[in-house]
Homo-oligomer: A and B are copies of this chain.
Amino acid sequence: MKIAIIYHSETGNTQKVANLIAKGVEKIEGVEAKCMSIDNVDKEFIEDAKAVFFGTPTYAGSYSWQMKKWLDTCKLKLAGKVGCVFATENYLGGGADNAELALLSELLVKGMFVYSVGSSEGKPYTHFGAVCIKDGDEDQKKRVEIFAERVAKNVKKLFNE
């Protein structure tokens, strides 16, 4: 089962978190992950994927305009796939939760099944998606991997793969 990870990153922080997401989902047997920048996506991989993660920095309390532009203008068929998010911010209260929810709202419009695990698997909870301050401290990095692994496990179950 393929899982695509699409990110926008200027400083490299969000890209690093994307790599942790890949590491986390590949802990589940049979899952193949691929990270790709919005500047260079692998369309075929995305089309085959059962789930797609979207990662963004937080700009002024929401997701970046580059990610918004990419989503508004991309012609990829995302409907019917599971959509998940992660975000980086520079400090607590920097708006990452809101960036994630805004990004998820765009995925809903694409017809995706939007998913975050939430509090359903016990602690650590992931309310809307993984969050890191800059590229994350050790605890945050660990949470990213746990989040990604749980998503992969449940998406696999959902699609009987």
Given contacts A61-B127, A69-B65, are A109 and B102 in contact (CB under 8 A)?
no
> Which range holds the interface residue count of chain A?
35 or more
Least CB distance from A149 to B in Å reads: 15
Segment among A11-19, A24-32, A39-47, A89-97 that sits at the interface with chain B: A89-97
Closest to A107 in B: B118
Query: Is A49 among interface residues, defined by CB-CB distance under 8 A?
Result: no
A114 CA to B128 CA in the complex, in Å? 11
Given A80-B154, A124-B91, A140-B92: A111 in contact with B117 (beta carbons within 8 A):
yes
Name which residue of chain B comes closest to A160, CB basis.
B160
Please measure, in the bound complex, the distance between the C-alpha atom of A68 and the C-alpha atom of B58, giving whole angstroms.
Answer: 12
Interface pair A61/B131, CB less than 8 Å apart: no
Do A102 and B104 form a contact, CB below 8 Å, given A93-B126, A140-B92?
Answer: no
